[in-house]
Amino acid sequence: MIKVCNINDIKDNSMILVCIEKREIIIGKKDGRIVAFDPFCPHRHAYLHRGSFKDCNIVCPLHEFEFNLDTGKLVSIPAFYNEQREEWKKSGDLILYKTTIKDNCVYVDLKSLDREDEVSS
């Protein structure tokens, strides 16, 4: 676990972009809960720190795809993209990172919460 910031450095329902060991990561606070995830949208690589939270999801600022912050899965595509080819709508999963709060500091585990990693370890 790597210490990233103080929990009070992040306003509720906002996110910051940090660099840890030459890797950019977004640290967000959604309704008081700290989340950490890759800054690049798995659809077409837009920077997600310019996006917004909606329910339990992060909404990408470019095409407004929504990814669940518990699973990383794509959960919603705006209806006006229904006419797009299926290939264009394909997306990977958002990479999530485990966080821990200790003494008001946010720690991040740079090993992603990839579900296959959990099964194989």
Q: Which residues bind ligand FES (CB under 6 A)?
A: 41, 43-44, 46, 60, 62-63, 65
Quote the DSSP letter at residue 70.
Answer: T
Closest contact distance (angstroms) between CB of 118 and ligand FES is: 25
CB 106 within 8 A of CB 15: no
Token output for 104: 């008001």
Rounded to a whole number of angstroms, the minimum distance from the CB of residue 52 to ligand FES is 12
* Residue whose CB is less far from ligand FES, 9 or 64: 64
User: In angstroms, what is the minimal distance from the CB of 69 to ligand FES?
Assistant: 15
The helix/strand/coil state of 49 is: helix
Q: Which is nearer to ligand FES, 7 or 76 (CB)?
A: 76
In angstroms, the CA 79 to CA 12 distance is 29
